[in-house]
A and B are shown apart, each in its own frame.
Chain A
Amino acid sequence: DIVMTQSPDSLAVSLGERATINCKSSQSVLYSSNNKNYLAWYQQKPGQPPKLLIYWASTRESGVPDRFSGSGSGTDFTLTISSLQAEDVAVYYCQQYYSTPKDFGPGTRVDIK
């Protein structure tokens, strides 16, 4: 099984400042035949289902603000919120969908400082 880890567990950032969340997979999630990283990022606000933000490691889902960006390849990935807004307070999860079980990371809580 591919084990997903995230760091930090939580972070507090001032409004308008950058937030960076890291995700690491225990094995590469880069599929060589199509050169795609099978890595997604989700946002979950309290009392709501998760929402897809980023897929293929760096493709922003339609309607997601451009302050959210994803980067990385192979085993190391980053979600960046370039200018934190109040509505971005949430838990963020990464997920690999390369191989079964397609597990999520443990989550990173983002708050306002």
Chain B
Amino acid sequence: EVQLVQSGAEVKKPGESLKISCKGSGYSFTNYWIGWVRQMPGKGLEWMGVIYPDDSRTTYSPSFQGQVTFSADKSVSTAYLQWSTLKSSDTAMYYCAISEKEAAGRGDLWGQGTLVTVSS
């Protein structure tokens, strides 16, 4: 069974750093794009960007470029989303999703989401 399992909820303070994860199983991890999507409380879906785990190519939405960093570790079939300096406006649910090579950025299968709360 193809699955994406994301790390658990996080509560952080403004200014702190954070790295959340998305572990793939049941498919060839290096042959599918992994994308990240933000959903702020009560709001719609925002596309953040994608990473191709085979060679760690990344594409960021201009809205998120420089604000977050994507990475992937093929040895453990896990992708990561990282912040160096969190802000309260980063409070949101974050989803990872995979897509086939021809359709980078589409969400073919989604993780369960990681809720990030940033509050002083």
- Chain A positions within 8 Å of B, measured between CB atoms, are 1, 38, 40, 42, 44, 49-52, 55, 61, 91, 93, 95, 97, 100-107
Residues of B within 8 A of A38 (CB): 103
Between A and B, 15 residue pairs with Cβ closer than 8 Å are A1-B62, A44-B45, A49-B113, A50-B97, A50-B107, A50-B110, A91-B44, A93-B45, A95-B106, A97-B104, A97-B105, A100-B59, A102-B47, A102-B105, A103-B46
Given contacts A95-B106, A101-B47, A102-B105, 13 further A-B contacts (CB under 8 A): A50-B45, A50-B97, A50-B110, A52-B106, A52-B108, A55-B103, A100-B49, A100-B59, A101-B49, A101-B63, A103-B47, A107-B44, A107-B45
Q: Shortest CB–CB separation between residue A45 and chain B, in angstroms?
A: 12
Main secondary structure of the interface of A (DSSP, over half): loop
Task: Report yes or no: B45 in contact with A52, Cβ–Cβ below 8 A.
Answer: no
Closest Cβ of chain B: how far from A100's Cβ, in Å? 5
B61 interface hit (Cβ, 8 Å): yes
Q: How far is the CA of A61 from the CA of B52 in the complex (A)?
A: 22
**Interface size on B (CB < 8 Å)?**
25
A100 touches B110 (CB 8 A): no
Q: How far is the CB of A2 from chain B (nearest CB, A)?
A: 11
Would you give the shortest CB distance from B91 to chain A, in whole angstroms?
Answer: 17
Is there an interface contact between A104 and B106, defined as CB atoms closer than 8 Å? no
CA A101 – CA B35 in complex, angstroms? 12
Bound CA–CA A52/B103 (angstroms): 13
Interface 1/0 per residue, B83-120 and A, CB below 8 Å: 00000000000010101000111111111110000000
Return chain A residues, CB-CB under 8 Å to B107: 40, 42, 50, 52, 95
Complex: A1 Cα to B62 Cα, angstroms = 10
Nearest chain A CB to B85 CB, angstrom units: 22
